[in-house]
């Protein structure tokens, strides 16, 4: 499900002036970032290049020599190359973060906090299950609404690493809303979240002469009686979503 994420950074150099290019370089901030740990060019070099562009541009205000013009062009092109090189690295990291979290916004957050912008994409259908926001000690999770008279079951546990299901779940919660805000989240811990949606049993089916129970994945469970769900003892009656992983902040 998360493998479809592909974050693209916007490299909008066309029409940018020398000073605008310098501003782009000076806005890059990767030092100390938890995810972007080894950029190909560090912030010091990026900002220094922005300074070089600003300096040579200021000199050209009073000196329009061919030499300074060529130097400014060289510094600007170098800056653009640096900016794109670091941006492509961040783009890959952001995509990995989004896939691991099962949340596009988690990857976008990486891009934006490092001083870059995400390329706009066309309108797409909302995701079935996602974390839509988070902050210190909390996160906001949402699943696609499937109508009225529906129950949403949420299970949350702490895991040792992404891809590993917790042995036990610390929380199981049922709502009639398709969104849930979870508090009490500890920084650095990895949370494993799954959800199951339960729809009401429809009226008697005249063809099968029995009611059916629809789960969130639209599987059918024949009822032993009209308008009553059925259950096989010892089985799990729910179709759980693929997990979302969230690292507490």
**What are the residues whose beta carbons fall under 8 Å from the beta carbon of 185, sequence distance 6 or more?**
137, 138, 139, 191, 246, 248, 249
Can you tell me the mean pLDDT for 88-108?
88
Retrieve residue 61's tokens: 């205000």
Q: What are the φ/ψ torsions at residue 53 (nearest 5 degrees)?
A: -65, -45
pTM: 0.50
Distance CA 226, CA 77 (A): 73
Q: What are the φ/ψ torsions at residue 61 (nearest 5 degrees)?
A: -65, -35
Distance CA 91, CA 140 (A): 24
Q: How far is CA 68 from the centre of its chain?
A: 44
Per-residue pLDDT band for 123 (boundaries 50, 70, 90) equals very low
**What are the residues whose beta carbons fall under 8 Å from the beta carbon of 182, sequence distance 6 or more?**
138, 139, 140, 141, 156, 171, 191
pLDDT at 201 over 80: no
pLDDT at 64 over 90: no
CB-based contact 57:64 (threshold 8 Å): no
Distance CA 153, CA 174 (A): 5
CB-based contact 192:158 (threshold 8 Å): yes
Per-residue pLDDT band for 220 (boundaries 50, 70, 90) equals very low
Distance CA 150, CA 179 (A): 12
Q: Are strands 138-143 and 151-159 parallel, antiparallel or unpaired?
A: unpaired
CA angle (71, 28, 30) in 5-degree steps: 130
Can you tell me the mean pLDDT for 233-240?
80
pLDDT at 93 over 90: yes
Can you tell me the mean pLDDT for 218-245?
67
| Percent of the chain residues past pLDDT 90, beyond the cut | 44
pLDDT at 15 over 90: no
Retrieve residue 9's tokens: 């950074």
- Beta-sheet strand order (sheet of 138-143): 129-135, 138-143, 179-183
pLDDT at 222 over 70: no
CA angle (170, 175, 181) in 5-degree steps: 65
Per-residue pLDDT band for 202 (boundaries 50, 70, 90) equals low
DSSP category for residue 50: H
pLDDT at 219 over 60: no
DSSP category for residue 248: -
Per-residue pLDDT band for 127 (boundaries 50, 70, 90) equals low
Q: Which residue has the higher pLDDT, 217 or 171?
A: 171
Per-residue pLDDT band for 203 (boundaries 50, 70, 90) equals low
Distance CA 240, CA 219 (A): 12
Per-residue pLDDT band for 144 (boundaries 50, 70, 90) equals confident
Can you tell me the mean pLDDT for 184-195?
92
Mean pLDDT of the chain: 83
Q: Could you give all domains of the chain from N- to C-terminal order, each with its CATH number?
A: 2-113 (no CATH), 129-196+233-247 (2.60.40.10)
pLDDT at residue 61, rounded to an integer? 87
pLDDT at residue 221, rounded to an integer? 41
């Amino acid at each position: 499900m998360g493998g479809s994420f592909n974050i693209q950074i916007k490299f909008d150099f066309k029409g940018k002036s020398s000073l605008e290019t310098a501003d782009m370089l000076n806005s890059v901030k990767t030092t100390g970032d938890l995810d972007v740990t080894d950029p190909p060019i560090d912030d010091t070099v990026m900002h220094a290049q922005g300074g070089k562009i600003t300096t040579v541009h200021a000199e050209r205000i009073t000196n329009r020599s061919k030499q300074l013009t060529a130097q400014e062009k060289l510094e600007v092109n170098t800056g653009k190359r640096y900016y794109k090189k670091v941006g492509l690295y961040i783009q890959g990291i952001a995509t990995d973060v989004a896939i691991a979290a099962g949340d596009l916004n988690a990857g976008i957050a990486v891009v934006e906090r490092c001083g870059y912008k995400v390329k706009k994409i066309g309108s797409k259908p909302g995701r079935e299950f996602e974390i839509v926001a988070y902050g210190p000690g909390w996160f906001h999770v949402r699943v696609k609404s499937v109508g009225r008279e529906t129950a949403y079951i949420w299970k949350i546990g702490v895991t040792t690493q992404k891809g590993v299901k917790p042995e036990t779940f610390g929380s199981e919660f049922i709502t009639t809303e398709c969104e849930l805000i979870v508090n009490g989240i500890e920084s650095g811990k990895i949370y494993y979240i799954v959800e199951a949606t339960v729809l009401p049993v429809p009226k008697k089916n005249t063809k099968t002469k029995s009611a059916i129970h629809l789960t969130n994945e639209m599987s059918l469970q024949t009822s032993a009686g009209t308008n009553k769900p059925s259950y096989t003892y010892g089985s799990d009656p729910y179709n759980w979503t693929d997990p979302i992983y969230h690292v507490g902040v």
